[in-house]
Chain A
Amino acid sequence: MNMSSNNHSLPLIDILYSFSLDERGVNAEVLDEFIQLYPQHATALTDFAIELAVDSLLVEPVREGSTAACSDTGKRSPSVARAMSHFQSLMYSLDRTDAVDRKHASNSVSVPNPFATLEQREFRDFARDLQANTVLVNKLRDRQIEPQTLTRGFIQRVSDLLRTKFEVIAAHFAAPASPRLAGEFYKADDKPVIGLRQTFEEAVRSSNLTEEQQRHLLSL
């Protein structure tokens, strides 16, 4: 292929957004142009174009969501509630870190959340390497597990995977959960109780993990 380009500075994700937002849609002409411009990403662009092309066969729904899901009194779907919980947790953690950074506070005031800085892919990779899933890792990140029920082996494994000191990981788990998280978006049938946490075994058993994953995690 006779392709040359000096467009090496843009991150791949920007190139992919730019490709998908192109007014001309997904066709050979557009893909050709992008591959010529970014030959280093030719494979990624081709794979992406295939996914977009297949995806475009599925027609979007006319109605976007339901009124009930948006109203004050309406019940949010469990999936939306979990996403809200994730959002609030991460926002709380990042804002807190920002505030602490601004005030140059000491570590004793703020316990850093070692999960807060993980990017999406890193977060998923961590879940996979732990032989768990993101449901359980969300609980770890949000401190929804009783710290005294976590085994030393498990904390050590988390520490190794995050390349963070054992003490930092242990301090994170031991810090109190955000009252906002525990109170407002806790997924449960009963009214949530602020600060309520699951034991490690309960958390593992209720995270849609396979039997094998559960056995592995509880054996650490």
Chain B
Amino acid sequence: MAQPLTKHHRNGKRYERPPDIERLLDLALKLAGIELKKRVAIPDRDDPGFLSSECLVHLMRDARKRKDQNTMDFIMPCLLSRCEETLRTKVPDTKYKDAANLRDEILQEFAALFAVDGTAQDKHQQLDFFECKFNLAFATFRRDAVSRERTEGKLFPGMPAFVEQEDSVSDDATFSKLAKVLGQPATHEHRLLLAELNHAIDTLPPDERQAAVLHWRVGYEIESENPDKLTVAKLCNVTGKTIYNRLKRAAQKLSRFKEEA
């Protein structure tokens, strides 16, 4: 059985790997040599022999702890290749001026987590999170680097193709259609549309982007009469009217997407 994680929730309970990961680890920890190598190299999630990234993280940490260089040498490149594939989607060349370097930096910083794991330099033991839900943990990890690019203005400028349009439909109707499009879960069926929408949102001015995402994707109300209730206006520290105007401007720029609702 894999060793328990050491990170704790805020209620004091230890983080635990999901049961399916534990089951997979029980099997994987019994594998050795060629068989383990073969299983680690399977890239297709639908293959019955596929080892999840959560599992690879644990195997890698285990090898690091034992200073098992051979095992590290074949697990680490596979894990990094998976991350690289994800980064190509999440940090695309079309969105960042220097996407290749940014992907490189993120990948190297991720690799560094394994180097420091278990040493005196390991202040945060972040890899525990990756053994629970790899994709979400990796999304969290990426955020720092991507946010920095945003604040340093390294994103591509707004797309000129989205011309503001006069709209005969009422604001309420437009807002509700955009809420429907933006509120939908990401599926492979709508992959291309969602990627375009992601790009379009990223090219909005920061104040419009913030209002649009908090209202249409995260689900906050614009404002409220209840002073204790968190709203977009409160989170952005401006009036409801200001948020409404920002949303109106954002809606004009995103108007072509409302037809997809």
| Stretch from B19-27, B109-117, B164-172, B241-249 at the A interface | B109-117
| A7–B100 alpha-carbon span in the complex (Å) | 38
Using a CB-CB cutoff of 8 Å, which residues 55-76 of chain A contact chain B?
Answer: 55-67, 69-72, 76
B176 at the interface (CB under 8 A from A): no
| Range class of the A interface residue count | 35 or more
A63 and B40 within 8 A (CB)? no
A61 and B101 within 8 A (CB)? no
Neighbouring A residues of B227 by C-beta, 8 Å: 2
Neighbouring B residues of A219 by C-beta, 8 Å: none
B84 and A80 within 8 A (CB)? yes
A144 at the interface (CB under 8 A from B): no
Neighbouring B residues of A42 by C-beta, 8 Å: 235
| A21–B140 alpha-carbon span in the complex (Å) | 9
A77 and B148 within 8 A (CB)? no
Pick from B45, B74, B77, B123: contact of A80, CB under 8 Å: B77
The answer to whether A21 and B133 touch (CB under 8 A), given A37-B10, A51-B143, is yes
A94 at the interface (CB under 8 A from B): yes
Neighbouring A residues of B112 by C-beta, 8 Å: 86-87, 90, 120
Neighbouring A residues of B218 by C-beta, 8 Å: 26-28, 31, 49-50, 53
| Stretch from A133-141, A149-157, A171-179, A191-199 at the B interface | A133-141
* Chain B binding surface SS class: helix
B124 and A208 within 8 A (CB)? no
A90 and B116 within 8 A (CB)? yes
Pick from B74, B90, B234: contact of A55, CB under 8 Å: B90
Which partner residue on chain A sits nearest B198 by CB separation? A57
A91 and B115 within 8 A (CB)? yes
The answer to whether A69 and B77 touch (CB under 8 A), given A58-B194, A59-B188, is yes
Neighbouring B residues of A59 by C-beta, 8 Å: 89, 186-188, 191, 194-195
B146 and A51 within 8 A (CB)? yes
Given A58-B89, A66-B81, A86-B108, 13 new contacts (CB under 8 A): A21-B132, A47-B147, A48-B140, A52-B139, A53-B217, A59-B191, A64-B85, A65-B82, A70-B78, A77-B81, A88-B115, A95-B67, A134-B101
CB-defined A-B contacts under 8 Å, sample of 5: A28-B220, A51-B146, A59-B187, A67-B43, A80-B80
Residues of A near any B CB (own CB < 8 A): 1-2, 7, 10-11, 13-14, 16-18, 20-21, 26-28, 31-32, 35, 37, 42, 46-67, 69-72, 76-77, 79-80, 82-84, 86-88, 90-91, 94-95, 98, 116-117, 119-121, 123-124, 133-135, 138, 208
